[in-house]
Amino acid sequence: MIKGLIMGIQFFTSIPIRYEVPMDRPHIHSAIKMFPMLGLLQGILYGVFMYALLHWTPLSPLAVAFFVWLALIVITGGIHLDGWMDCSDAYFSYRDRVKRLEIMKDSRIGAFGVLSVMVLLSAKFLFIFEVVLWSVDETFILIVLIPFLGKMVMGILLLNVKSAKEEGLGFMFQQAASQRTLWNYPIYLVLMGLLILWGWSNALIGFVVFIVIALIFIIVMSRKIVKWFGGVTGDVLGASVEGVECLLWMSVWLWHYFVMG
């Protein structure tokens, strides 16, 4: 399991770990099982970083928001943003599925990819800035939950939506797993819920809302992904992570207005 987590860190973050994990079926299987723990690690980094900037530096809220926003890009290495841009170019081409897959394979980025990533990053910056302004203790718990659930959504889509092609990173991960791979995801949710209830009960409503949003996203996107692209690919999964995490950041923003406000 530890090697699976290391593989996830090496694939989906820019954190340097000088340890070679074999790219075989058992280790890929373990990496998928550890997706939520990978997201939890990312979330802890984001939450601690925001807390440190707010409480231990003289930086303005705008500067704090900028550096947290930048950390989201740096820590992931922009890997999911690449998928977001490729999928945007393919989707907005309004071509058939085959042509869309060809567009996603193209290493060049088109106008729609650039525009879509500008909108995505701008929206995230807005949400982060206002969250910084309204932050309370529970804010940091909700921030930790964003990549935790984002990676969980990625694992569920990976194993519950057919592959669009028999090649690529997404297909390789899918072939190494089975439905039993996800048995521990509900356990992660229960343990996280108990931890929040015990230490930060005011954030429990936010956690429940997050789960509902993630479930709706999975149900809707499971159908749309097949309709638009014929199934999942590495780019589609990356775009899905960016999409659901942006929705969760928006939820944190709204939570401060309508619950804490």
What is the amino acid identity at position 78? Answer: G
Report phi then psi at 92, rounded to 5: -80, 0
What is the amino acid identity at position 88? Answer: S
pLDDT at residue 32, as a whole number = 92
What is the amino acid identity at position 84? Answer: W
Tokens at residue 33, please? 């099982």
Instruction: Taking residues 10-19, report their average pLDDT.
Output: 87
Instruction: Taking residues 150-176, report their average pLDDT.
Output: 87
Q: Report the percent of the chain where pLDDT is more than 90.
A: 64
18 pLDDT band, cuts 50/70/90, is confident
Number of structural domains in the chain = 1
pLDDT at residue 56, as a whole number = 95
Which DSSP string corresponds to 164-181? SSS-HHHHHHHHT--GGG
pLDDT at residue 176, as a whole number = 81
How many Cβ atoms are within 10 Å of 24's Cβ, its own excluded?
9
237 pLDDT band, cuts 50/70/90, is very high
- Calculate the dihedral angle through the C-alpha atoms of 29, 31, 193, 40, rounding to the nearest 10 degrees: -170
Rounded Cα distance between 68 and 48, Å, is 10
Report phi then psi at 110, rounded to 5: -90, 180
Say whether pLDDT at 87 is over 80: yes
- Residue bearing the bigger pLDDT, 221 or 167: 221
Say whether pLDDT at 142 is over 90: yes
Task: Tell me, yes or no, if the pTM score tops 0.85.
Answer: yes
Instruction: Taking residues 229-243, report their average pLDDT.
Output: 93
From the number of C-beta atoms within 10 Å of its C-beta (0-12, 13-18, 19+), residue 152 rates as buried
pLDDT at residue 80, as a whole number = 93
- Residue bearing the bigger pLDDT, 108 or 76: 76
261 pLDDT band, cuts 50/70/90, is low
pLDDT at residue 148, as a whole number = 97
Contact assessment for residue 228 and residue 101, using Cβ atoms and an 8 Å cutoff: no
Q: In the chain, count H helices and then E strands.
A: 12, 0
The domain in which residue 153 lies consists of 2-260
